[in-house]
């Protein structure tokens, strides 16, 4: 059986966003869909019957959350399974399930406090992004445009192991959808690149050199992608704001960060802020090497 796409739901208002994106991802990748809800495990320090009654109540609540998910996914076909996981936290439970099933990806919705049409990584998403063994996707609150309708896959690209891992997964998805790829690199604005003591001439020279370097790496990255139409764009400005404002991609892939153990998502500065603010779904990809 193909590796599944896991969607974590908690009954909150962002559950439908996660289910919509997860269903699209699973169908695109020809993967089974697993909808999971995590409830607290019995405490080793619990007080016997009181603890057992409380856990039973939480289990009933979890069943109700899955019933909501079944209603949202009604008519989706038979390749959907529903799981209740007992764990110390939602993130821990989803991590364990991902390892158990060798999951393709974990999908969660934005945090409860997130504004509409913007990502806001709640505690579950942020904990998932700290050490996940597979890519983690965060769907924005109340997506105005469903995934698969815009016809472009985006990649926040820098020529690092993380950037190349994100490009590889994005290219795989693009090949499945027939969508073109666009690679984005952001160069900081002039006044943000170097200390003012360096001087404007040196600063402009630095920016010109940086742009040439980025153009070369982007061109090579596009050439490395086979079977998929791809182009690139360099943007000027704040890296998080520039990427978060993208509204013409079905999904934006990015690396986690440039260090840490291989095959683990470790949330870096840009990706951490990006998942809180992006207008489109963001997939944070662990390094493959």
92 and 175 housed in the same domain: no
As a dihedral over the C-alpha atoms of residue 240, residue 192, residue 230, residue 29, rounded to 10 degrees, the angle is: -20
Same domain, 160 and 139: no
DSSP string for residues in 174-230: HHHHTPPEEEEEEEPPHHHHS-GGG-HHHHHHHHHHHHHHHHHHHHHHHHH--SS-E
Domain boundary among 80, 115, 144: 144
CATH number of the domain that 106 lies in?
3.40.50.620
> Can you give the pTM of this predicted structure?
0.84
Taking the C-alpha atoms of residue 170 and residue 175, their distance in angstroms, rounded to an integer, is: 9
Range(s) of the domain holding residue 158: 145-289
Does residue 188 sit in the same domain as residue 123? no
Domain final residue, candidates 144, 176, 204: 144
Q: 153 and 131 in one domain?
A: no
The reply to whether 161 and 136 lie within a common domain is no
Asked if 88 and 184 sit in the same domain, the reply is no
Residues 191, 126 within the same domain: no
Residue showing tokens 């934006």: 252
Question: Do 112 and 155 fall within a single domain?
Answer: no
Structure confidence at residue 264 (pLDDT): 42
- In a shared domain, residues 135 and 11: yes
| 181 lies in the same domain as 284 | yes
pLDDT for 220 equals 95
Residues 178 and 100 in one domain: no
Question: Which residues lie across from 230 on neighbouring strands?
Answer: 181
d(CA 34, CA 23): 10
On whether both 155 and 117 belong to a single domain, the answer is no
Rounded Cα distance between 93 and 107, Å, is 13
82, 116, 144 — which closes off a domain? 144
Place of tokens 């500065």: 269
| pLDDT tens series, the chain, 289 aa | 589 999 999 888 788 999 999 999 999 999 999 999 998 776 655 555 556 777 788 888 889 999 999 999 987 666 899 999 988 888 889 999 999 999 999 999 876 555 565 554 556 777 787 777 899 999 988 788 889 999 999 999 988 888 899 999 999 999 999 999 999 988 876 554 455 545 555 556 666 677 788 899 999 999 999 999 999 998 888 888 888 899 999 999 998 764 444 344 444 567 777 887 888 999 998 865 5
Q: How many domains does the chain have?
A: 2
């Amino acid at each position: 059986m193909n590796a599944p796409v896991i969607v974590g739901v908690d009954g909150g208002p962002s559950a439908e966003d996660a289910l919509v994106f997860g269903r699209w991802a699973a169908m695109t990748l020809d993967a089974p869909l697993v909808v999971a809800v995590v409830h607290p495990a019995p405490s080793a320090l619990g007080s016997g019957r009181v603890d057992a009654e409380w856990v039973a109540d939480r289990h009933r609540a979890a069943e109700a959350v899955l019933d909501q998910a079944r209603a949202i996914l009604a008519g989706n076909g038979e390749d959907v399974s529903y799981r209740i996981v007992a764990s110390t936290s939602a993130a821990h439970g989803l991590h364990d399930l991902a390892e158990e099933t060798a999951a393709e990806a974990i999908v969660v919705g934005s945090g409860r406090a997130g504004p509409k049409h913007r990502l806001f990584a709640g505690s579950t998403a942020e904990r998932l992004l700290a050490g996940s063994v597979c890519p983690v996707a965060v769907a924005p609150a109340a997506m105005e445009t469903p995934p698969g309708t815009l016809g472009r896959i985006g990649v926040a690209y820098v020529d690092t192991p993380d950037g190349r891992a994100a490009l590889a997964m994005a290219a795989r998805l693009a090949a499945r959808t027939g969508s073109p790829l666009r690679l984005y690199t952001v160069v900081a604005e002039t006044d943000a690149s170097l200390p003012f003591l360096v001087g404007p001439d040196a600063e402009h020279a630095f920016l010109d050199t940086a742009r040439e370097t980025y153009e070369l790496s982007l061109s090579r990255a596009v050439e490395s992608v086979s079977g998929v139409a791809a182009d690139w764009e360099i943007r000027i400005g704040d890296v998080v704001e520039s990427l978060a404002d993208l509204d013409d991609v079905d999904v934006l892939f990015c690396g986690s960060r440039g260090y840490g153990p291989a095959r683990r998502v470790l949330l870096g500065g840009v990706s951490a802020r990006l998942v809180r603010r992006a207008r489109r779904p963001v997939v944070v990809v662990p390094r493959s090497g």
